[in-house]
A and B are shown apart, each in its own frame.
Chain A
């Protein structure tokens, strides 16, 4: 597997390598959503409104999601920096 685009924060949509660039783009969006869900869940847990069972289920689901994401990153040869987009003056996406 080719290593991911080395220039941090740029999605590689080179026509000869479009598949890989697309995978990077899709995984970036998924990772963003995963992190939003995770942060929201942490807030809910810290808010103290969930039962132990709900916390357990939520925690396990998020853990599985995180593991799955790690697998996908490995399959596509991407690391955390590749799943981040440079938004210029706004900073990084994640």
Chain B
């Protein structure tokens, strides 16, 4: 046994020594998690057998064994979430492995000051994710009915001969599509800027496609926010307000959190 060290997250040593560390099963389901103090920073880790968890075998399993990947990714996430309930934690990416104690210590020591600033940033704050979805069909109707340019163009087309109407309608459809995208971005951005007022930081992530979300409506915004604990309530209230006033127009809001601060602390 032994060999590799699997790193879940980094905790301020002050907190790690003040509170008892919970008993949590490690990545292989056999050993337990334990801590390694590296100066002001403490690593939450578990041991892994170097033969069973070589870089190559992990890569193969990530690519070929979906069941294993799902189980282990869930384990990593659950473990980090459990730790984040007790400690200020800089979460590490799935499958962050070190060859030995020395390499882990060197990596942590070389970034000590950056890591300490990250602790300061995330301590007392929570990471929340907001996904905004929009029913394109509903919004398209509103866009095409409320826009005088589109209305005028439609009137003009109705006077044309049938064949020409076909091409002009296609052009108009394109115009409506682009107006729709503009409108979606404009509204989402306004909401984002408003919500950022309650957050310390707010970042925009890539929207997910429908194949990932499994939904019929499209994702129009995917944002992450680092919010002071004292402002979470008002942040969520604002969201509820948006939801109530915009639901009928085809908008849906999905806020999740608190998450370990994956987007506001980096060890890479």
Q: Which residues of A contact B (CB under 8 A)?
A: 8, 38, 41-42, 45, 52, 55-63, 66, 86
What's the nearest-Cβ distance from chain B to residue A39, in Å? 9
| 25 A–B pairs (Cβ distance < 8 Å), ordered by A | A8-B210, A8-B211, A42-B167, A42-B170, A52-B164, A55-B163, A55-B164, A55-B167, A56-B161, A56-B162, A56-B163, A56-B164, A57-B163, A58-B163, A59-B162, A59-B164, A59-B165, A60-B162, A60-B163, A60-B166, A61-B163, A62-B166, A63-B163, A63-B166, A66-B166
Interchain CA distance A29-B163 in the complex, whole Å: 25
When C-beta atoms are compared, the residue in chain A nearest to B166 turns out to be A59
A57 to B166, CA, bound (A): 11
Cβ-closest chain B residue relative to A62: B166
Q: Report the count of interface residues on B (CB-CB < 8 A).
A: 10
Alpha-carbon separation in the docked complex, A55 to B166 (Å): 10
> Which B residue's beta carbon lies closest to that of A44?
B167
A61 CA / B162 CA spacing, docked (Å): 10
Q: In chain B between 134 and 176, which residues have their CB closer than 8 angstroms to a CB of chain A?
A: 161-167, 170
**Which residues on the A side are within 8 Å of B162 (C-beta)?**
56, 59-60, 63
Per the bound structure, the CA–CA distance linking A58 and B168 in Å amounts to 13
**Cβ-closest chain B residue relative to A41:** B167
Starting from the known contacts A56-B161, A59-B166, A63-B163, 12 additional A-B residue pairs (CB-CB under 8 Å) come to: A8-B211, A38-B170, A42-B170, A45-B167, A52-B164, A55-B164, A58-B163, A59-B163, A59-B164, A59-B165, A59-B167, A86-B211
- Residues of A within 8 Å of B164, CB to CB, are 52, 55-56, 59
Q: Which residues of A contact B170 (CB under 8 A)?
A: 38, 42
Chain B min CB distance to A30 (Å): 18
Closest to B174 in A: A42
A38 to B167, CA, bound (A): 9
Q: A8 to B214, alpha carbons, bound, how many Å?
A: 10
Inter-chain CA distance A56–B160, complex, in Å, is 10
In the bound complex, what is the Cα–Cα distance between A56 and B162 (angstroms)?
7
Bound-state CA distance A66–B162 (Å) is 14
A35 to chain B, nearest CB (A): 11
Per-residue A-contact encoding for B212-233, CB less than 8 Å = 1, 0 else: 0000000000000000000000
Q: Mark B163-207, 1 if CB is under 8 A from A, else 0.
A: 111110010000000000000000000000000000000000000
CA distance A59 to B166 in the complex (A): 5
Q: Which residues of B contact A57 (CB under 8 A)?
A: 163
Q: Which residues of B have CB within 8 Å of A8?
A: 210-211
A61 to B164, CA, bound (A): 11
Min CB–CB distance A73 → chain B (angstroms): 17
In the bound complex, residues from chain A placing their C-beta under 8 Å from that of B211 are: 8, 86
Mask for B71-97, Cβ within 8 A of A = 1, else 0?
Answer: 000000000000000000000000000
